[in-house]
Amino acid sequence: MKWFTEYWTDNVKFSIRIKKLVYTKETKFQKLEIYDSYEFGRFLTLDGYMMVNEKDEFIYHEMIVHVPMNVKPNVKNVLVIGGGDGGTVRELLRYNDLESIDMVEIDEEVVRACQEFLPLIAHKLNDSKVNLIFADGIEYVATTEKSYDLIIVDSTDPIGPGASLYKNQFYKDCYRILTEDGILVNQHESPYFDDTRSEMKKINKKLRAIFPLATVYQAFIPTYPSGHWLFGFASKKFTPDYRGNTDLLAKLKLRYYNQEVHKGSFALPNYVKEELR
């Protein structure tokens, strides 16, 4: 096999020249593959869709973590739903004041494969602040008695095992287990092509029905369909303004996120604002 191809719509495809298939496994939940490629280094696919690659994963992971971490000061405990590749945990652990991360991933095989084949992304999953829980995120949020300052839903698209992470009941349970000024951030599809735009609208509508404030922010992620990718920001109290510690931020030496990017990521084009109205 010379090229890995992903259909962004029935009529648009994106292809990457690959060196080789590194690992493949039919897990209990999905088909997992790890390839090595010329342009993007190694990358993980689930059921044929690229989830993460070594070249641009920093954009996704910095933006799903540092935006909420710089909106709400003093986040102590975080719940990550999904996030099996470990990139979200790696970024969270840059904040020394953070006390604990519960990561609830349904598919242990994703974690194990990433630890073995994508260590640049997964190498912090063994950190002592991280509790790995291999369970269904829906059930976890429905039954846990813990509460969290921040919930990050780092999931696949609304198909396959990730579909339930876009349901009303899931968001209601997240709301319940968030502290009184808690924030939820999630993977929120793209505004550009019809299918992802339709998902974007549905997700935002559900979040707005439950949270006092629910909007989206954007990042340039070249390997996701259209390259214009969104994250959901749902909050009980905080507006999405930057309230970070700028000295600390400079020390983190991030490659994408900064204070101006924070603000710019919420500056949505008119056509996106209109779709969300």
**Binding residue (CB under 8 A) for a copy of itself from 35, 192, 231, 233:** 192
Secondary structure of the chain in HEC code, one letter for each residue: CCEEEEEEECCEEEEEEEEEEEEEEECCCCEEEEEEECCCEEEEEECCEEEEECCCHHHHHHHHHHHHHCCCCCCCEEEEEECCCCHHHHHHCCCCCCCEEEEEECCHHHHHHHHHHCHHHHCCCCCCCEEEEECCHHHHHHHCCCCEEEEEEECCCCCHHHHHHHCHHHHHHHHHHEEEEEEEEEECCCCCCHHHHHHHHHHHHHHHHHCCEEEEEEEECCCCCCCEEEEEEEECCCCCCCCCCHHHHHHHCCCCCCHHHHHHHCCCCHHHHHHHC
CB of 250 to a copy of itself, least distance (A): 10
Q: Is 48 in the site for a copy of itself (CB under 8 A)?
A: no
Q: Is 70 in the site for a copy of itself (CB under 8 A)?
A: no
Instruction: For the segment 226-245, give every residue that binds a copy of itself (CB under 8 A).
Output: 226-228
**How many residues form the binding site for a copy of itself (CB under 8 A)?**
40
**Binding residue (CB under 8 A) for a copy of itself from 38, 74, 96, 277:** 38
**Binding residue (CB under 8 A) for a copy of itself from 48, 73, 119, 269:** 269
Where in the sequence numbering do the catalytic residues fall? 154
Instruction: For the segment 194-213, give every residue that binds a copy of itself (CB under 8 A).
Output: none
**Binding residue (CB under 8 A) for a copy of itself from 59, 101, 118, 125:** 59
Residues near a copy of itself, by CB under 8 A: 3, 9-17, 37-39, 56, 59, 192-193, 218, 220, 222, 226-228, 254-258, 260-261, 263-271, 273
